[in-house]
Amino acid sequence: MKHKITFLPDNVTVDVDDSTNLFKAVKAAGLYVLSSCGGKGNCGKCKVIIKEGKIESEKSRSFLTAEEAGRGYALACVSQVKSGLTVEIPPESRMQAKHKIATGANTEELLRLMKQAGGCLESRINRIYLEISQPTIDDNIADLERVRRALDGAGFNAGHLHLNYMVLSKLPHVLREGKWKVTASVFSMGEVLEVLDIYAGDATKSRYGAAVDIGTTTIVVYLVDMSNGHVVGTASTYNSQTKCGDDVITRIVYATERNGLKELQALAVDNIGAMLSELAEKHNVSPGMIDYIVVAGNTTMEHLFYGIDPANIREEPYIPAATFFPLIRGKSVGLQIHPQAIIYSMPNVASYVGGDITAGVLVSQIHRQDPVSLFIDIGTNGEIVLGNKEWLVTAACSAGPAFEGSGIKFGMRAMEGAIEEVEIDPLTFEVNYRVIGDTKPIGICGSGMIDALAEMYLNGVIDQKGKIREEIKSKRIRRGESGLEFVLSWRVESAVNKEIVITEVDLDNLIRAKAAIYAGFATLLSHMGMTFNDIQKLYIAGGFGRYIDVERAITIGMLPDMPVNKFQFLGNTSIMGAYYALLCDRLRHEAEEIAKKMTYIELSVSRSFMDEYMSALFLPHTNLDAFPTVKKEMKRGRNWYKPE
């Protein structure tokens, strides 16, 4: 028996079998519904409203308020279709695409930075124009031997020459078509020189590459003109794997399920392929001219992109299948680019410090400096690197996806409708907030959470442990379904027709997240017998990083209390590092050296980390002396609520 389901507001219809899971039906309709757990009934994000028809649902209640239940809300992933349906996907469950992911591409700036980092336009793949002597009866060596000789003459050691037999099969024709003037696309790997392709005439100019950042949440692509290093165009998209889970752990679990690995791989490849096609078409580039791709991602993302089982990443002792991935070809993963295109992935360090971090260090240049610096990429995990030109240590503190909205009642990503700034009036506890896109709010994003936490703390709404002071007389402080909560936005102000609140559970999750980050810094430092005073710079990378208000982050004890001028935002260093490595083989090699040099410290089994973490589960920290600025701010009595 088939049922017709109409999804609003898109008005998309799909026919499904009786008892089909509604979450799968959303996917089948080509639509998205938010989900952190990948459809396992654990996150309560995939709320939909049943407007008409019948479902069977379990467990929904625990995530829904009585009022929501009364209004027809249900969790898609625990609901079975039992009749024809009309289903609304409400704003808070939708992926808002209007807030464009910043790609950060500025050709002149990127090129300048790359050159500043010691780079140049010398890629691993070269186009060599060859004028080959025409064969005669006295000089009758084979076509391939002529190419070899010409390459030798051009300064390439063609002793170990390799080429795919498809290239060999076109060689006789191309040589004669080009009247013995041809362009070889060559790739070096150790002593082996591979001719990737051969073109008649001078084809040295029309060569393109792509840098790709495969983030857990977003994927960014730069299409690059390899002849001059210019970024021809950029594109970005949410990683479609998100529908199989929000974070790497959920995806690893998904990958181990039947066909899950293939599905996840296909999703990433399709995302990248679609962006490449779009960019190529838009900028009039033949996809076959794209013959080099450098990918940066965390270790799990790289495994999934290659279709390699990441299962062991998740289980102690946390072993990835590979950290240095072998080169693969465009056709192996099914990208519609040059079939022999080389795909290189930035080297990973360990299961939870990936190629994106190697790329980040390359961009930060901390590995070239005398003074010791810190680097952090704040995302789902906070990956931290400490070091200088002599040594590098690294760790991943599993901050969890709280700042990305997961586990936070009204948490969401930084997109349209997200509260991104919060101010609380010290006297009235009234809330001023700013919403991305200047619309009515749907929820709150990471920077908004940091703001809210800082403001609530400084204004005494919460105590050092993050507990809401129930004794405060304010209608914004109230007891909700999951305990005490603070109302950020009243129902009439919100786009979701209900109060947007921060609960004590949310606060607890946020404090755990910030504590993990701080403890990561502190553990690495103590591991090296250093303190924050020894740090010259703290580089912050990552999409979320760019929106952080450093002072607020210090207030809550997420970032160390150092002078603000010691913090530097680097933007998306993952894509930047991939871009560097794409254009300059020396920098690619440098990235490998960086990865080899980094000593990975597994925090999950570190006694020292646990201690640091416990101490950091306070605002800003158990040891307030470590946060003199915050202490001063508090002492200044800046509207400090003292109930005593």
Contact footprint for its own copies (CB under 8 A): 135-137, 140-145, 159-165, 168-169, 171-173, 189-192, 306-309, 311-312, 316-328, 332, 348, 350-351, 600, 602, 605
* For its own copies, the closer CB: 97 or 192: 192
* For its own copies, the closer CB: 9 or 172: 172
CA distance 57 to 341: 48
Q: Backbone phi, then psi, for 45, in 5-degree steps?
A: -90, -25
Which helix (H) or strand (E) segment is 630 a member of? helix 628-635
What is the nearest approach in angstroms of its own copies to the Cβ of residue 427? Answer: 52
What is the nearest approach in angstroms of its own copies to the Cβ of residue 348? Answer: 8
CA distance 468 to 478: 9
Tokens 């002793």 label which residue?
159
* For its own copies, the closer CB: 69 or 308: 308
What is the nearest approach in angstroms of its own copies to the Cβ of residue 346? Answer: 14
* For its own copies, the closer CB: 262 or 491: 262
Three-state SS sequence of 481-529: CCEEEEEEECHHHCCCCCCEEEEHHHHHHHHHHHHHHHHHHHHHHHHCC
Judge contact between 245 and 36, C-beta under 8 A.
Answer: yes
Judge contact between 566 and 463, C-beta under 8 A.
Answer: no
What is the nearest approach in angstroms of its own copies to the Cβ of residue 167? Answer: 9
Q: Backbone phi, then psi, for 251, in 5-degree steps?
A: -70, -35
What is the nearest approach in angstroms of its own copies to the Cβ of residue 331? Answer: 12
What is the nearest approach in angstroms of its own copies to the Cβ of residue 506? Answer: 33
Side-chain half-sphere CA neighbours of 468 within 13 A:
26
What is the nearest approach in angstroms of its own copies to the Cβ of residue 253? Answer: 16
Q: Which long-range contacts (CB under 8 A, 24 or more apart) does 638-641 make?
A: 638/426, 638/458, 639/426, 639/427, 639/458, 639/459, 639/460, 640/458, 640/459, 640/460, 641/426, 641/459, 641/460, 641/461, 641/469, 641/472
What is the nearest approach in angstroms of its own copies to the Cβ of residue 326? Answer: 5
CA distance 516 to 534: 21
* For its own copies, the closer CB: 328 or 372: 328
* For its own copies, the closer CB: 333 or 362: 333
* For its own copies, the closer CB: 53 or 135: 135
Cα-Cα-Cα-Cα dihedral sign, residues 253, 35, 545, 104? positive
Q: Backbone phi, then psi, for 475, in 5-degree steps?
A: -70, -10
* For its own copies, the closer CB: 120 or 327: 327
